[in-house]
């Protein structure tokens, strides 16, 4: 049997490695994932046992360490989706489309974590699970729906080039929301979200211990983000290999 | 200071559960696709 190379190989400008069997694709969850899991476990220990609680919010403030890191990881994944979408529209390289898809799926996971943890925090601190008039909340929910729509759209279109082209447009639009979400606390008076305490001009408004945990959480969840994206990309490669092998086998039989 | 320990624990459990479920889904998809490729190859050999 000759397994067909992944589609798009002939379109790509530079010649690149195209796996032709499952053995050439490394396991989805590899050493990077193991390192990320250990780092997350270490962060949990530091945040829960070795970082002091906030004087006003108490233990609920520790939700920040997973909530804000989840949002930043989601932003990174959405930004890569948009970047890869632009690369696909420009070069028609299928690897860019595959990476954009992987990033969008991982972004949805981090967005879901961000929404859930934020809601639990808001229930205790604001006294409400959700506040519709807070622009940051509404815009982040909108981003969740746009990313979900991106994945639904990909599932709905069978023709690969059309699927990649249409979803690339949606991927770019999703990233355009990020600056508005980030600046919404400055732009709109209708808000409950606090102003930035660490990522702001001037000295951070938190103790050094909290700041170290806070900044570590960004690094740790970015690592998990990259490990997830890499794993999801490899699954995309395997899926296309399986489809190509089945098509090839079907023609041969 | 208000007692918000339960909220903190709930948030950490929810976040961890989502990450664990997603990791398992990645692992299962990886395994299933490799098995599918292997069975296609077996059928072609026959």
Using CB atoms, which residue from B4, B22, B33 is nearest to A59?
B4
CA distances for B29 relative to A28, A35, A235, A239, angstroms: 9, 21, 7, 9
Answer whether A1 sits within 8 Å of B19, measured CB to CB.
no
Q: What is the DSSP letter of A157?
A: -
Query: What pLDDT, in 10s, does the model give residues B1-46?
Result: 677 899 999 999 999 999 999 999 999 999 999 998 888 877 777 7
Burial (CB < 10 A; 0-12, 13-18, 19+), residue A225, is: buried
Ramachandran quadrant class, A92 (left: phi over 0; alpha: psi -120 to 50; beta: rest): left
Residue A56 lies in a domain: no
User: Does residue A182 fall inside a structural domain?
Assistant: yes
Q: How many domains does chain A have?
A: 1
ipTM of the complex: 0.92
A160 occurs within a structural domain: yes
Residue A115 belongs to a domain: yes
Chain B residues within 8 Å of chain A (Cβ atoms): 1-5, 7-8, 10-12, 14-15, 18-19, 22-23, 26-27, 29-30, 33-34, 36-38, 40-41, 43-45
Structure tokens at A20: 């032709």
> Is residue A46, in this structure, part of any structural domain at all?
no
Question: Are A113 and B18 a contacting pair at CB < 8 A?
Answer: yes
pLDDT category, A248, cuts 50, 70, 90?
confident
Long-range contacts of A30-34 (CB under 8 A, 24+ apart): A30/A230, A30/A231, A32/A223, A32/A226, A32/A227, A32/A230, A33/A227, A33/A228, A33/A230, A33/A231, A33/B23
Distance CA A169, CA A84 (A): 11
Question: pLDDT tens-digit profile of A61-112?
Answer: 999 999 999 999 999 999 999 999 999 999 999 999 999 999 999 999 999 9
Q: Which residues of A10-34 are buried (b: 16+ CB within 10 A; e: fewer)?
A: eebeeeeebbbebeebeebbeeebe
Nearest CB to A231; choose among B26, B38, B43: B26
Is residue A180 domain-resident? Answer: yes
Residue A58 lies in a domain: no
Tell me whether residues B14 and A120 touch, CB distance under 8 A.
Answer: yes
Task: Note whether B1 contacts A53, CB cutoff 8 Å.
Answer: yes
Query: What are the chain B neighbours of A28 within 8 Å (beta carbons)?
Result: 26-27, 29-30
Q: Is A58 helix (H, G, I), strand (E, B) or coil?
A: strand
For the segment A170-214, what is each residue's pLDDT rounded down to a tens digit?
999 999 999 998 888 777 766 666 666 656 666 667 788 899 999
- Domain of residue A112, residue span: 64-195+222-252
Q: Within a domain: residue A210?
A: no
């Amino acid at each position: 049997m000759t397994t067909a190379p992944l589609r798009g190989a002939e379109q790509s400008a530079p010649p690149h490695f195209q796996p032709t069997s499952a053995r050439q694709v490394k396991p989805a969850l590899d050493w990077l994932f193991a390192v990320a899991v250990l780092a997350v476990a270490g962060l949990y220990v530091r945040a829960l046992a070795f970082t002091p609680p906030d004087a006003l919010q108490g233990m609920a403030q520790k939700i920040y360490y997973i909530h804000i890191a989840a949002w930043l990881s989601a932003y990174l994944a959405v930004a890569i989706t948009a970047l890869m979408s632009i690369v696909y529209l420009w070069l028609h390289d299928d690897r860019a489309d595959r990476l954009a898809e992987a990033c969008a799926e991982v972004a949805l996971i981090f967005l879901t974590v961000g929404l859930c943890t934020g809601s639990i925090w808001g229930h205790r601190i604001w006294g409400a699970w959700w506040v519709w008039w807070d622009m940051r909340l509404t815009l982040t929910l909108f981003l969740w729906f746009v990313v979900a729509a991106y994945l639904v759209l990909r599932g709905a279109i069978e023709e690969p080039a059309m699927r990649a082209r249409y979803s690339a447009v949606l991927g770019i639009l999703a990233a355009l929301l990020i600056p508005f979400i980030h600046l919404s606390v400055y732009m709109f008076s209708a808000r409950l979200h606090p102003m930035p305490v660490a990522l702001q001009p001037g000295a951070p408004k938190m103790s050094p211990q909290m700041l170290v945990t806070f900044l570590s959480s960004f690094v740790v969840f970015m690592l998990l983000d990259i490990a997830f994206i890499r794993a999801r990309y490899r699954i995309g490669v395997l899926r296309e290999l399986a489809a190509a092998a089945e098509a090839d086998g079907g023609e041969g039989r | 200071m208000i007692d918000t320990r339960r909220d903190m624990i709930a948030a950490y459990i929810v976040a961890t559960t989502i990450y664990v479920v997603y990791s398992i889904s990645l692992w299962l998809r990886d395994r299933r696709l490799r098995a599918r490729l292997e069975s296609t190859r077996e059928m072609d050999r026959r």
